[in-house]
Structure 1
Amino acid sequence: MKFFTVVTTLSLPLALAAPRFQHKQSNFTVGQVVETSSGFIAGHAAAIDCEVSEYLGIPFAQPPVGGLRFAAPLKYTGTSRLNASTFGNSCPLRPSSGTTPTPGEIAASNITEVGLELLTTIGSPDVVHGEDCLYLNIWSKPQSGEPLKAVMVFIYGGGFTGGTSATPIFNGAALAGQEDVVIVNFNYRLSILGWPGNPTAQNNVALLDQRLAMEWVRDNIANFGGDPTRITLFGQSAGAASTDFYSYAWSPDPIAAGIILESGTTGLYPANSENVSATAWYSTSMALGCGDASTNSTTLLECMRNVEVDSLLSAIPQTALSAIMSPFGPTVDNTLIFSNYSQQTPASIPVLAGNNDYESGLFRTQLALSGEILPDSLWDAYDLAGFTCPAGSRANASLIAKNPTWRYRYFGVFPNINISSEGGAWHGAELQLLFGTTYLTGNNTVEETAFQKYLQGAWTTFAKDPANGLRTYEEGWPLYNPAEKTLIRLGYGNGVGTNLASPMLYDSACANASLSALIASYFG
């Protein structure tokens, strides 16, 4: 069971409201074949909204196998007709060594039936894993609404070691159909395959996967009814951290017109130094018999590229801290990942950033399932150092860069997404509502449906006009100012509307909060 890594599993209500937009584009039919740089893509009607066109498993990069394992992705081009009816492979994960919780562990964890289903079934979809996994998915409804719609590109979380775009809660059909936007998600390489740590070769290739996916969207999305000048990049947890890393790495040309950071920033997972990543790389290569730092780097890399993928992932160190957090993740190279973000300038684009009121609710529930109980004080400290304070720091960095900025804190707790008696507004709970997939675990309450529409409206309003949309959304969202009551409390008391608070209500202890120190004290 992972403690600080993120296994995001969620859901959201499907409110079958009447369409808001009636502008017709009679030249587009549901699922019609679309010409792209990857070939002619044949779609189909989405299962949960037959008016939405769904295109699954579109290749955006050449298969990263053989000589391309651990390498920067190469653009995929093609002219064939592709039947986009199923998700592409999900990127490989370390073979699971976990055990099924016993009835006693389930009872002791205070987990709900919803929580058990989310953590054991929906969060672990029955997908095909394979290294040929760089595919993206699109949901659009071009036959009505704006002729060219705002585009929202989502990056999933998973602690850089897990996750897939095929997770049922990330199905974009409901959001695309109800809010007149185009939804895109995609896979990126994980663990050592995406963040190799090899000191003699390209690093952080997962971030390059993400960039290549954004370039594909920019170049092709107009043919799906999307506006390439209005692309919002958003993510949750490690997906939000990726989005934030991206906003600095490509600050001169972000492609994105705005970003949304849900429970993740560059501060969520402090990047590894080159030495730390190199140690993990060589520990793994030695375990596989491929050599160490004294081995010819070309010979070692060739050996690592020829190891069977499950054996490769199984050889990753699993002792001490590495048993909890993967040793493979973003590595400082001062080109894509920087050592000190306070000295860097992010992209000059609007930012919506925030976190949930009790992120730890997910992790303590997961850990309790394995029989381990930790004190409330540790979970509270983790919330503060891992989420609240980094969200505030990123919002402040956006202000310094003179970018339009909004900051939120999510509070909603509803029966069909409540994972345990101690879960609260847990890490990722908002995603269920945002994507419209709470139908996976039960029916909405009336107040939940109302709040869902408010939340979806806020995110898509930002996407349609990142600089100005939220200023006039409903009663108007105030721009973030750390000295004033501008922190937007979403779902406070499960209500709809902009409940405002002073950021210092939550940030007052940030001067003494350190995620690195917390981790060190836990494993000291």
Structure 2
Amino acid sequence: MALSASGRPLTGPEVRTANGALRGTVESGVAVFRGIPYAAPPVGSRRFAAPQPAARWDGVRPATAYGPPPPQTDVLTEGATDDGAADDDWLTVNVWSPEPDPAARRPVMVWIYGGGYVVGASSRPEYDGGRLAHDGGVVVVTFNYRLGAEGFAHIEGAPANRGLLDQVAALEWVRDSITAFGGDPDRVTVFGESAGAGCVAALLAMPRAAGLFRRAVVQSMPGTYFSPPLATDIAAACAGELGLRPTVDDLAAVDPALFVLAGDTVAGSVADLPDRVARWGRPALRSIVFAPVVDGDVLPTTPWQALAAGTSRDVDLLAGHTRDEHRLFGLMSGLLGQVTPEQAQAALQDFAPAPDGDRRYRAAYPDAGPDALYELVHSDWLFRMPTLRLAEDHVAGGGRAHLYELTWTAPGMGGMLGACHGLDVPLVLGNLTSGQPALLIGDGPPAGAIELSARMRAAWTAFAAAGEPGWPAYEPAGRSTQVFDTLSVVTTYPEERSRVIWQDESFLALPLQGATPAPARSVLPGNP
């Protein structure tokens, strides 16, 4: 009989992986295993290094508590708990399985959380995979990866994109271990929202990730990928807050919490420093200081360029966004409903495609006031057009893509947020009353939310199982798009006016601009 550390008999489902045996729990008819190491703790000599193999263990390891979240801003990690796990064991996975039997061979869905590449943890209640696993008959996997400076700062002597390398290691763990949990390693789907979607798109372009998943879901992908000069300049600013250089030699002994604070200081001050706005451009205006770096090695090129060239053409893609992506950020900044004509004009000048994007927006949306124009251009630059273009480039490169838009108005807060950024997360995962989603969904939840969530979960799991979410694939001629709302329909892409404005824009790695005159000031705090 297997015994716990206290000598009590262990109960619950047991599986055996290459590293050792695990004992989980059963919750609502689903076997759950939490806090499983997929890589060694990235501390000490492994600080700022690529992920290393996790240690093996003897006996049966309890897998009942989440691993701790990676270092990040404390104020934004409410709901992420370590449940007593070792403080530095950040790189862990969690598994929900309807049938932890190697013969089951069920589709596998691997969730990558968002949070602007600076916050997030798989232990957040809205990321619980139980409902999706139970109702969809799939094995759900979530995991932690390094964030902020630990995962994405461009540091001399360290591999670039360590957060992405963590994700590759987690997918390698899925490939090698998921059969024991009843999953099929040949039917793996990666899916993520916001920065998580940006990571999924990056994985599609990464040679190291090739063959590790069969399908990909990109939900509200941010268009921010940094060039090495830009990333190096930002890393130097972060290290400079500590009086150090952006090198492994200087930073290896720095407390991760101090490095987090340095990044927060830079992010919070860029809007007030004209030189940094002039050098960093749009990321500074949005207070974005960390993102995947197109370094030529880990990430050889941008996702759009890679997919247009046929990279990952064998991977099925499901991509989409919400209608009112930016409204949540407007609420957070206090500008929702308060945008002045001057602020709207500055936003159009800063973020619309050159040379005359402001004129084209006003011509395409003649009835839009300052608030609507401000929201439209931010939504399009940050999420809507990057996501649409990824689907279009995948099709152009010989791949297959399905497109959607969520237009259902969130009932929380009197409906003022519309179909805002992040609304798709509770609907897809089915967690309508846990954590932050409760703010969007409201009390109840209402019957409309329950029904829409069921439809979206059915589409996502059908796509994971066979590559068919239930509506036609996207083609340049018809632009078939599934619109999710109280009454869902398939129609031509709804945001055609914005698509035309952006159709000739090249989505490239964001450059270091040098000491150029500062653009018009349309600063809005907040990250994707």
* Interval containing the TM-score (normalised by the shorter chain): 0.7 to 0.9
Q: Which residue of 1 aligns with 2:395?
A: 399
Aligned-pair Cα RMSD in Å = 2.9
* Match 1:65 to one of 29, 43, 64: 43
Question: C-alpha distance in 1, partners of 2:154/2:496?
Answer: 38
Structure 1 residue 87 corresponds to structure 2 residue 79? no
Number of residues paired by the alignment? Answer: 446
1:143 and 1:305 map into 2 onto residues whose CA distance is 40
Task: Please say if residues 108 and 139 of structure 2, whose CA atoms lie closer than 8 Å, have aligned partners that are also in contact.
Answer: yes
**What is the percent sequence identity of the aligned residues?**
27
Q: What CA distance in whole angstroms lies between the structure 2 residues aligned with 1:507 and 1:57?
A: 43
Give the superposition deviation at 1:253. 2.2
* Pairwise CA distance, 1:192: 0.6
Offset, 1:332:
2.1
Partner Cα separation in structure 1 for residue 288 and residue 67 of structure 2: 25
Give me the TM-score of the superposition, normalised by structure 1.
0.78
Query: What is the CA distance between 1:514 and its match in structure 2?
Result: 8.5
TM-score by length of 2: 0.78
Relative to structure 1, the CA distance from residue 271 to residue 131 in structure 2 (aligned partners, 3 Å threshold; closer, same or farther) is: farther
CA offset at residue 307 of structure 1?
1.3
Alignment of 1:191-202 (within 5 A): 191-202=148-159
Superposed CA deviations along residues 185-218 of structure 1, whole A, max 9, x for unmatched, are: 1000011100121134311111000000000001
> Is 1:314 matched with 2:261?
yes
Q: Could you tell me how far apart the structure 2 residues matched to 1:420 and 1:39 are?
A: 50
Deviations 1:260-312 (A, max 9, x none): 00001xxx24322222222233333333243x37xxxxxx5234111122122
**1:484·1:503 contact (CA, 8 Å) conserved in 2?**
no
Cα displacement string for residues 410-456 of structure 1 (whole angstroms, at most 9, x for unaligned residues): 112243xx356431101110111111111333323333322221111
Task: Quote the Cα distance in structure 1 between the aligned partners of 2:236 and 2:433.
Answer: 46
Which structure 2 residue ranges, 5 or more long, are not aligned? 1-9, 272-283, 344-369, 512-517, 524-528
Q: What residue number does 1:304 align with?
A: 251
State yes or no: 1:358 paired with 2:358: no
Q: Deviations over 1:159-196 (max 9, x none)?
A: 00011111111100011011100110100001110012
For 1:487, the equivalent position in structure 2 comes to 481
Q: 2:406 aligned to 410, 415, 425, which one?
A: 410
What is aligned with 1:204?
161
Q: Which deviates more, 400-409 or 454-463?
A: 400-409
For residue 187 of structure 2, what is the amino acid of its counterpart? R
Aligned-pair CA distance for 1:328: 2.8
Give me the whole-angstrom Cα distance separating, in 2, the residues matched to 1:512 and 1:379: 21
Distance (Å, rounded) in 2 between the aligned partners of 1:343 and 1:425: 29
**CA 371–351 in structure 1, closer or farther in 2 if over 3 Å, else same:** closer
Check if 1:456 corresponds to 2:457.
yes
Equivalent residues of 1:271, 1:337 under 8 A apart: no
Structure 1 position 501, deviation (Å) = 4.5
1:134 is aligned, of 91, 98, 117, to 91
1:75-121 deviation line (CA, Å, top 9, x unaligned): 2131332211111000111354xxxxxxxxxxxxxxxxxxxxxxx8x
Partner of 1:443: 444
Greater relative contact order (Cα < 8 A, sep 6+):
1
The one-letter amino acid of 1:263's match is S
| Structure 1 residue runs of 4 or more that deviate by more than 6 Å after TM superposition | 143-146, 369-372, 512-517
Q: Residue 401 and residue 63 in structure 1: after superposition, are their counterparts in 2 closer, same or farther (change >3 A)? A: same
1:281 aligns with 2:238: no
Deviations 1:37-87 (A, max 9, x none): 2321110012xx1x1011111110000001111110002131332211111
Distance 1:71 1:332 in 2: 18
* Secondary structure class of the residue paired with 1:306: coil
Task: Return 150-159 or 199-208, whichever deviates more.
Answer: 199-208
Counterpart of 2:56 in structure 1 is 78
Letter in 1 for 2:62: N
Question: 1:261 aligned to 2:218?
Answer: yes
Query: Per the alignment, in what secondary structure is the counterpart of residue 439 of structure 1?
Result: coil
Shift of residue 132 of structure 1? 2.8
Match of 2:20 among 35, 39, 64: 39
| Structure-2 separation of matches of 1:84 and 1:450 | 33
Q: Which amino acid aligns with 2:299?
A: I
Aligned residue for 2:192, secondary structure, equals: strand
Q: 1:381 and 2:377 equivalent?
A: yes
For 2:474 and 2:419, the matched residues in 1 are separated by 22
| Counterpart-to-counterpart distance in 1, 2:14 and 2:257 | 37
| Alignment pair present for 1:430 and 2:420 | no
Secondary structure of the residue aligned to 2:297 is coil
Change (3 A) 1:432 1:145: farther
Question: Which SS does the other structure have where 1:488 is aligned?
Answer: strand
